[in-house]
Structure formats: C-alpha cells, structure tokens
Structure 1
C-alpha cells in the first residue's frame, strides 16, 4: 500500500519452488519485516519456517523461504481474510491458499494488509469493540453509569470502530468514486445500527460501504442503493437535475462486491424499493 490506497502487485512467477534452509540473517529479516508490519510476535519455529503473530489480532502468518522469495500462509479466525487478500494480491496467490512473494518489500506489503484486515473484519472487530466499551464505561464518573448512558457509549464507540474498519477495508478511499479525502468519507451502514440483531452485525465490515458524504446521505435515506452486481440504483424521487447536482453519473458502481455484502444489501434494497 502507498498511503491509504491498495496497490496491486506486479505479476510474479508462482511456479513451485524448492524450500531452502533459512539462515540466521534471513530469519532476522523475516521477523523484523513482521514486527514492522503488524506481526510483532514470533512463535516457536516449526521446521524451516517463521511463524508470526500479534497481540492486536488473532491471525498467524507462516513464512517459508524459497529458492527465490517466500511462501506465506495465513491462519485466521475470519474466513474472509484470505479471499480479501486474494483480491488485492491475486498475482501472488496460489489455489492452495498460499501466497508467494519475491522480496522483503513484497512480504511487508502482504503482511501489512493482512494485519490491517485482521483487525477490521468480523470476530476481531467485535472483540476490540467490547474491550473499548468496557474501558470507556470504566472511565465514567462514579454513579453516572445508567442504561441510557451505556447505550450512548456503546453506539459512539461502535461507530468509531466501524468507521476505522471501513477505512481499512476500502483502503481509505470511497467504495464508488475512489476519492481518498478522509474528511469527506462516511461509514454507511446498509442494515441500520438500531435494526441489527447484535454487535457482530453492527460491526461487520460487510454491512455497509465507505462513501463520500453525498452518496452516504442518499444511501442512508434509501434514495440510492446497489444491485447484486454493485451497480448504483437511484430512486425515482431524484430528478435528472437532482442527480446531476449531486454528482450521480450513469454507470457508477462499487469498486467490488462480495457475498458478505449481498445479504445486507438485500435488506437495504427492500427499504429502497419501498421508499423508506
């Protein structure tokens, strides 16, 4: 990644390469690359690999030196992690779930994206949220904690965490326009916070999109939605002049869309079609 934008890797040779014996210097370089890119712990080595982990998320990365480059495998609580990495690093991905990178710079990019996603995707995001809520509640003045205050704290902390998750997931850029002005971006829920069944739905990075402010306002009021291919849908309540003034152009669509998004979009489209 450069800044907040996800950079697609160059095509690399993914033919099978023999594993080589890792030397002490190479191991130190792998471990430092992990430490600097979201995997600050090293677990006891197994065979000829380095196993990297973190206190900030539950993903582990197993790095194996090859004759040219490295093979990387991830073990994560989130089943969405590897498919999302495949999207950003498709030229490096193998069908068996491994990634093969050529240099330490490439390894750093892959580990950094994996660490960021691991904190944004379901499971870890909920755990981090619950910890943050308890901390926020513990800092309240004695005797001031009641049901309404706790509800407000939970919503404020949750919305902050959700925004952070979407900024990470979408690489700091609008899911439609690719605008990367952070101040103009909003975390838009597809299924509204108050109508989610639990915290897992509220904090699910697939339950919404990072949108520029005008699209967020329209999406929140069900004046726009998206179909199952990601194409933008507009309400008949918006006239051609409205659409022009709001910057809505023909052919606008989401940069990508997963099955994780589609179930929440179905809920949103039902409200969109009913005009409420």
Structure 2
C-alpha cells in the first residue's frame, strides 16, 4: 500500500511539473543580477532622497517662524547604516556608511556625502540630535558652516511603491511612490500638508480622541482639510506653484475611485479639490494685496 502511494505521488508530481525546458539559472547568475539590481536601487534611493531634501529644505526654512519646534540648519542630513532600507544596508556599507552618523545629503560647502561630523570633543554629530553652534570638525579640520533657522521636523524617504506620506508629530515620511507621483511643486504641497499635521498638533489630537472614546472619523477628516489649507500656505511661502494642488486630488481620485464619494478618515477627493481651489484664491488675493501669507485663524 505504501509503495502504491509513493508511485502515485511520483506520477502526480510528473503531471504537475512544467512541460518546457527552462533556460539555466545558477546561483552565481542570480547573485550577479541581485548585485546589479541592489546597486540600481541604492542609486535611485540616493537620487530621490537628494530631491526630497532640496524641496523639504525650502519648506522647513521658509516657515520656521510658524513652527514651535526649531533648529539651526546647515543644509545637511546625517544617517547611520540602519537608516537605509534593509535590502540596501549591506551595499550601503560598501559605500562607507556604518554605525556612526554620516552625511547622506549636503548643500553646505566643504561637507560631502559620507563625511562624519564631529563636535569639539570628537563625538559624532547627528543633525537632528542637537543644534549646531558653529563649530564642526571633519577629519580634524575645523569648519564653520552657515546656519539658518528651520522647522525641526526631519523629512525622510521610505522605499515603498505606495503613493503615501505621513506625519508622526515629530517627523515626516515620504514614500518613493509619492516621489514618482509628484513633481517638485506637488511634492512641496505634500510636504507642506504633512508639516501642517505636525504644527497643528493633529497626531496628539487623534490620540486624545481615541483615549476619550470619541471616535476619530469626523476629527480626522477635519484635520486633513486643515492640513490641506495650512500646508498650502507653507508651500506658497516657500515659493512653490500652489496652483497644482487641486489636480493632485483629481489624479488621486483616478487611483482610488472609492475616495470619489466615500469620506472615512479623509475627505472625498472632490471635496479636497474644491477646498484647495478656494484656498488658492485666498492666498493669491493676499499676494496681490501684499498681505502676510498667514492662514486665517479662529478668534
């Protein structure tokens, strides 16, 4: 009986196998291709992050007076090797990144990618750990980079195809999918939206509503509308073309047709389009009148 079962299993496996002769695929060939794809993914991550930091830098520095959390910014982003997506960490180590904070992006003269910034005691500096006091050392050489005041909400890149962005209350995350979905003006509008979530305290308010058992749906939709509105001011103050904002939500509506008529945690895409159009008109009127670009607040 056991022999019959084995024979039947062998016959069945033969029936289930493919009927063609596949090209060879050795472990060495696969490893070589994996190395190629990993290097390409790393290069893409670096390029997208450079673009993200350039756009985010303008938003964070041009709106510093509207942020309660501020820092002295020298236009530099530092990371450790663990900051990279897991599949890219081994390759990042071959590029010089390790456990110490190293420069990933820099707009400052004399500071390059891969540099370790040291304080007067020789301790590695992480940009967002402490403010710069004007004294930095690289390889024993003292440099004095220029600083500007900026909002203290680091903007980082998440390697994901999802068209998404989110605020944590203390930081902002933008996906590679969102980077592909937007041009620089649109990206600035998205960053402004997430910055508004942080500056308006929306994350804390949502947590408070949950603890109080009030539900978060209505509040969440209100917060999203407020972030759209305030974030548009942030983008305008940084010099970006905010007229592109409504079209983002028309395109979002094509990606998720449920958002056309269903408002859950977010308003519908038509509602966002209409409100953003009204906000643009408000901001343009203020620009023409030479009035301060500040969101209208309740008394």
Q: Same fold (TM over 0.5)?
A: no
TM-score when scaled to structure 1?
0.28
Counting helix residues as a fraction of each chain, which structure ranks higher?
A: 2
